[in-house]
Amino acid sequence: MKRIICFCSCLLMASVFLAGCGNAIPEMDEATEEMVVEYAVSIVKKYDQNYTGKLKTLSEQTEDEMTENDLQEENLSAPVEEGELMETSNENSSLQPDPNVAINDNTEVQTTAAASSIEDFLNLDAVSFSYEGYEIADFYPSQETGTYFVMNSTEGNDLLVLKFTVQNLAQTETLLDMINTGVRFKIIVNGETKNALTTMLLNDIASYQGTLEAGGSTELVAVCEIPENSAGTIESLSIIVKNEGATATISLN
């Protein structure tokens, strides 16, 4: 409103100067003044409408640009049509493996061997393995043996020591090298499988290397840990014999 009044004042002053070169302000009757004011108001309104119209046009252009950008983003993020998926699938389906190219599969294949004894599993003809029983202790071997290496059980556990007698069936000396057989052992106690411990015992069944006299024998052991509270409740025992290509489970009772 202030802008309209100011503009009207400017028009009135301009009309006075344009009316003549004299210094006297021409006299206007009331009707003439109202006409001049109405004309000035109409000019101001027209100017204001044009200004508003230009702002509106700019606003509409901005909205159009934003709408166009939104449509572009929707097109970029829109899911692929079913036809396009089928076309892509057809292209991928044409990429079939060449039957003439060999494919290397390094997956280790384990077979279950039907073995009733350790010597049967290892294909040993000159020696036999006989299970003699087990021992439960906090440490092994006992200090009376005078060995340089003694195993201690961890807190809350006991050592379960399985004992085997290995006998040379040949009439000559026989070298028994368990390391080179690549054999590994696990022990099943009451249905629960446990890894046989890796030890520095000279008579460890998995790492024994020695010469057996003709008809001679020696004791080998496999050791694992069991909870203290289960030491008196062993009902079933089995040993798992495993090498690179096969696995066998042999019951001990």
Whether residue 217 is found in the same domain as residue 166: yes
104, part of any domain: no
Whether residue 58 is found in the same domain as residue 157: no
132, part of any domain: yes
Whether residue 124 is found in the same domain as residue 205: yes
Token pair in block for residue 109: 């294949």
pLDDT classification of 14: cutoffs 50, 70, 90: very low
Mean pLDDT of 141-153: 78
Domain count, the chain: 2
pLDDT for the residue 36: 60
Whether residue 34 is found in the same domain as residue 157: no
94, part of any domain: no
- Average pLDDT of the chain is 75
CB 203 within 8 A of CB 218: yes
Whether residue 44 is found in the same domain as residue 164: no
199 pLDDT more than 80: yes
106 pLDDT more than 70: no
pLDDT for the residue 230: 87
pLDDT tens digit string along 45-87? Answer: 554 554 444 444 444 555 555 555 555 555 555 454 544 545 5
> Could you list the residue range(s) of the whole structural domain that residue 63 is in?
2-18+29-71
Which residues are CB-neighbours of 199 under 8 A, at least 6 positions away? 149, 151, 207, 223
Q: Is 183 left (phi over 0), alpha (psi -120 to 50) or beta?
A: beta
91, part of any domain: no
Of residues 34 and 138, more confidence is placed in 138
Whether residue 116 is found in the same domain as residue 232: yes
241, part of any domain: yes
CB neighbourhood size of 240 (10 A): 17
CATH number at residue 141: 2.60.40
90, part of any domain: no
251 pLDDT more than 90: yes
Whether residue 136 is found in the same domain as residue 226: yes
Whether residue 120 is found in the same domain as residue 188: yes
Top-ranked range on mean pLDDT: pick from 63-77, 103-117, 131-145, 228-242:
228-242
pLDDT for the residue 218: 97
Give me the percent of the chain exceeding a pLDDT of 90: 47
pLDDT for the residue 149: 81
Whether residue 117 is found in the same domain as residue 62: no
Of 55-69, 100-114, 146-160, the range with the lowest mean pLDDT is 55-69
Whether residue 56 is found in the same domain as residue 115: no
pLDDT tens digit string along 201-247? Answer: 999 999 999 999 999 999 999 999 999 998 888 999 999 999 988 99
Which residues are CB-neighbours of 140 under 8 A, at least 6 positions away? 150, 151, 159, 161, 221, 223
Nearest CA to 132 out of 163, 167, 110, 107 is that of: 163
9, part of any domain: yes
Sign of the dihedral through C-alpha 212, 214, 217, 220:
positive
77, part of any domain: no
